[in-house]
A and B are shown apart, each in its own frame.
Chain A
Amino acid sequence: MNKYEQTLNKIAPLFYKLIQYFDFAFNNSQVINRYLIKAGLTEIAQVNTVELLKNCSYNYHYYIYFYELTKHGYIAKIALTTENIREIYEFSSYSVYSATFDEVIVNMVINKFSFENTHIMGYEFGIQKNFILNNTYKDLFIALVGKDLYEAIRISIK
């Protein structure tokens, strides 16, 4: 087996698992909103647009989205890189792109929660301005995953 085959055989199964959670989050976006309201993160759920990860600085970037590839239709594409995804894709401040909740979870863990105290940013189309919400990424992570697992991961992460 060639080196590139070994690499793809190693990486693909884990990436494919990650995609299943992306699909799940994508298909349950309205339920997630209701869940966040019930969990007390009302502002995130009710803001005009929540711009997840947009104002965060971190080293490792995990990115996933649907993309239309020639001849293949829509397919999930996944990237793991040290390069800033926003610089690669030249996302503007008015871009509609916002990370999904599963992307937030993965990026927080692989970056050892380095931006957990950053406040989440929203965007108001009416005034075309960003604004900062009261909740931090730590608040969001705990709401989505639970405090016990948050603490367990923080202890065990290398």
Chain B
Amino acid sequence: MLVGSSIPNEKIIPVADAADFAIELPSFYVLVTAHGSLYDIYNKNSNEHLRGDIEGWNRKYGVQFLRELDELDKLFDRLFDRLTLALLALEQFKDRLEYFKQTGKVLP
């Protein structure tokens, strides 16, 4: 089994909570919570969800899904420092806009 839980022989059981957002991979949407708990995966073309026929899904898409997620993982690591700086910039953008909303002035 390519996609499953950390418990041997246990199939993946998506968490009951609603997903907070979707991560888009070339072939899949991965629905997750803010903390990264998996809620659902589905193939963009066939619209087949992980929920349901899990073994069938794994046979068809498991390898491809793991490969695409691994690519994202590597890219994320490569860009982590820059993404952190981007968050800093976004926070500053938000602060400046809030200041403008309160005062009508733009910070230099």
Contacts and interface: CB of A to CB of B under 8 A. Distances in A.
A15 B82 contact: no
Nearest to A144: B93
Interface of B: 3-6, 18-26, 29-38, 40, 42, 47, 65-66, 69-70, 72-73, 75-76, 79-94, 96-97, 100-101, 104-108
Interface stretch (A6-14, A91-99, A119-127): A6-14
A24 B94 contact: yes
A110 B31 contact: no
A4 B66 CA distance: 7
Nearest to A38: B106
In the A-B complex, the 4 residue pairs with the smallest Cβ-Cβ separation, listed nearest first, are A12-B36, A9-B36, A8-B36, A79-B24
22 contacts: A2-B6, A7-B72, A8-B38, A14-B87, A15-B21, A16-B21, A18-B86, A21-B90, A25-B93, A28-B101, A38-B104, A67-B22, A77-B23, A78-B22, A78-B23, A79-B25, A80-B79, A105-B90, A105-B93, A106-B83, A144-B93, A146-B108
Contacts of B105: 38
A72 to B, nearest CB: 6
Contact of B88 (A2, A39, A153): A153
Do most interface residues of chain A lie in helix, strand or loop, or is the interface mixed? Answer: helix
B31 A75 contact: yes
A76 interface: yes
B24 A11 contact: no
B69 to A, nearest CB: 6
A72 B96 CA distance: 34
Given A21-B93, A35-B97, A38-B106, A110 B83 contact: yes
B92 A8 contact: no
A2 B73 CA distance: 14
B75 A82 contact: yes
B19 A75 contact: yes
Interface string A143-156: 11111010001001
